[in-house]
Chain A
Amino acid sequence: MAPDVKPMKPEEILQIIHAQRGSAICVPTMTTSPHWRTIAPDDLSVTCVGFMGGASSLGLGLALAQPDRRVLVLDGDGSLLMQLGSLATVAGAAPRNLVHFLFKNGVYHTSGAQGIPGGLTVDFVAMAKGAGYRTARSIHDIEDFKHRLPELLKAEGPVFVELHTGLSEQTPMTAGGGVPFPRQVTDLRAKLLRPRARA
């Protein structure tokens, strides 16, 4: 069971990831996305929006295409449940450069905070380990997270980190806006591949 500590604030977690990510590609989704774009507005990110559960697969494709870069997936617990088989697909592909962060808040916060099946008792670490991730651990405390993150970002992937969080201040529904998905796709592709100027 969870130690007796207050759940971490998702915004604080994202700040810490941002400070340490270097040139990693980031794939936020659901409630990680509004805050992420305020702290990392014009960088190597692409949001999983409009295809719930796809963050880990989008991250996997990027990680396989760009093996020299780290890819950080910022997933939701309801989202991961929707495409739970992706744990096995990621583990099977075994990308050394992929770190999968799961923001475990026990609810579908974006759609109105309904409980996810199984609530907080669902053990995603056991699932990730069972699927074959190289490393899987849960973190409850923000100081512990800050302390462990450098090592997690360097570890051979796929790495899975279950983060016990409270509810974010904003959701994609309350925050609205953001760069449209196709524009994010072309922007990130251009940053990674650098199109030649047309003559």
Chain B
Amino acid sequence: MPESIPATLIIDTLKDTFREARAALAAEVAEPPKHGHLGWILSVPDTHQKTVLAALDKEEQIRVLTCATEDEATTIAAGLHIGGEPCVLMIQHAGLYASVNTLRGVAMDGQIPLFYMIGLLSREKDKQPRESRHSMVRYCEPLLDTFGVPHARLEGPDDVHLIPEYYRLSLARKGPAAVLVGLETI
């Protein structure tokens, strides 16, 4: 059975992921940007990850930018990447559907590493998402498959290692990669 993941565990994992990204960039380039923070979360608030967003409010090392649309979040992430800043898109499935043209035009055609954390709001605990009663849960993985975006599901605290793994995967394949948050975070 899937389990909820505590916000603090996700945030600690994100910090480690950002630290690793900065260290890798510093080894690769002569002029990495110098900032006081570790990285960016670009968010259009996801109900499913709201405990993470609430905890991030108190975090000084991670900057959160709330965007009006997921199109903006995706394109801002591209600008941050070009400028050398690590970032994570934190959205929900509906936001993925709302921004597929930008996913295609920016992340895929632009060959830009973008890492998504996508909340599967309304996902039933005892069902595979593809069997959900809710279209917004059901279509998320098939849509990512259609676009060739690699994805994995966070089904409990033991799965948070997938966050740095899929972040690295987005860098390695120069394109989007996503983890789906199976249950509401706590």
Chain A residues at the B interface, C-beta cutoff of 8 Å: 46, 48, 50-51, 53-54, 57-66, 83, 85-86, 88-89, 92-93, 181-182, 185-186, 188-189, 192-196
Residues A92 and B109 in contact, CB atoms below 8 Å apart: no
Residues A83 and B72 in contact, CB atoms below 8 Å apart: yes
Closest to A66 in B: B83
Interface residues of B in 57-77 (CB under 8 A from A): 65-69, 71-72, 74-77
Residues B84 and A50 in contact, CB atoms below 8 Å apart: no
Set of chain A residues within 8 Å of B33, measured between Cβ atoms: 65-66, 193
Chain B residues at the A interface, C-beta cutoff of 8 Å: 25, 27-33, 40, 65-69, 71-72, 74-85, 101-102, 105-106, 109-112, 174
Residues A61 and B84 in contact, CB atoms below 8 Å apart: no
Question: Can you list 29 contacts pairing A with B, beta carbon distance less than 8 Å?
Answer: A50-B106, A51-B102, A54-B105, A54-B106, A57-B76, A59-B79, A61-B75, A61-B76, A61-B77, A61-B82, A62-B80, A62-B82, A62-B83, A65-B33, A66-B33, A85-B68, A93-B65, A182-B109, A182-B110, A182-B111, A189-B81, A189-B83, A193-B25, A193-B29, A193-B33, A193-B83, A196-B27, A196-B29, A196-B30
Residues B106 and A65 in contact, CB atoms below 8 Å apart: no
Contact partner of A51 among B75, B84, B85, B111, CB < 8 A? Answer: B75
Contact partner of A188 among B40, B82, B102, CB < 8 A? Answer: B82
In the complex, what distance in Å separates the CA atom of A83 from the CA atom of B77? 16
Residues B79 and A53 in contact, CB atoms below 8 Å apart: no
Contact partner of A194 among B30, B82, B102, CB < 8 A? Answer: B30
Determine how close the nearest CB of chain B comes to the CB of A45; give it in whole angstroms: 11
Set of chain B residues within 8 Å of A54, measured between Cβ atoms: 71-72, 75, 102, 105-106
In the complex, what distance in Å separates the CA atom of A60 from the CA atom of B71? 13
Determine how close the nearest CB of chain A comes to the CB of B140; give it in whole angstroms: 21
Determine how close the nearest CB of chain B comes to the CB of A24; give it in whole angstroms: 13
